[in-house]
């Protein structure tokens, strides 16, 4: 299941989700400009490398996925669902519109 969620929903869900994993699918250069704390970075533009790294993740966790604008993360969620991940959330508006806590 993939759901598009607002940043308000994202923060509410993560606060009470002990199974949450935050996944940043942007490039390393983009990550250097700032990111959401406690995330794991796997660049979707790596193609097969992305798929290999994703397939090593724990499928029983709930993945909160973001990119710069919400497009690549939606694509990542779809791929993850096809690979057998049950729960993925896509951050609408991406990091560009994120107003929560960030690490510079």
Residue 67 a catalytic site member: yes
- Whole-prediction pTM value? 0.97
Buried b or exposed e, range 6-23, using 16+ CB within 10 angstroms? ebeebeeebeeeeebbbb
Q: Say if CB 103 and CB 10 are below 8 A apart.
A: no
Superfamily name with CATH number, domain 2-97: Rhodanese-like domain (3.40.250.10)
Catalytic residue among 54, 67, 91, 92: 67
Tens of each residue's pLDDT in the chain, 104 residues: 889 999 999 999 999 999 999 999 999 999 999 999 999 999 999 999 999 999 999 999 999 999 999 999 999 999 999 999 999 999 999 999 999 999 99
State how far the Cα of 26 lies from the Cα of 44, in Å rounded to an integer.
7
């Amino acid at each position: 299941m993939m759901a598009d969620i607002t940043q308000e929903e994202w923060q509410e869900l993560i606060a009470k989700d002990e199974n949450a994993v935050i996944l940043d699918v942007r490039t390393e250069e983009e990550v250097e400009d700032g990111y959401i704390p406690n995330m794991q970075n796997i660049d979707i533009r790596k193609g097969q490398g992305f798929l290999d790294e994703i397939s090593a993740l724990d499928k029983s966790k709930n993945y909160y996925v973001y990119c710069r604008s919400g497009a690549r993360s939606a694509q990542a969620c779809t791929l993850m669902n096809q690979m057998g991940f049950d729960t993925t959330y896509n951050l609408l508006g991406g990091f560009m519109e994120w107003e929560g806590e960030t690490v510079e």
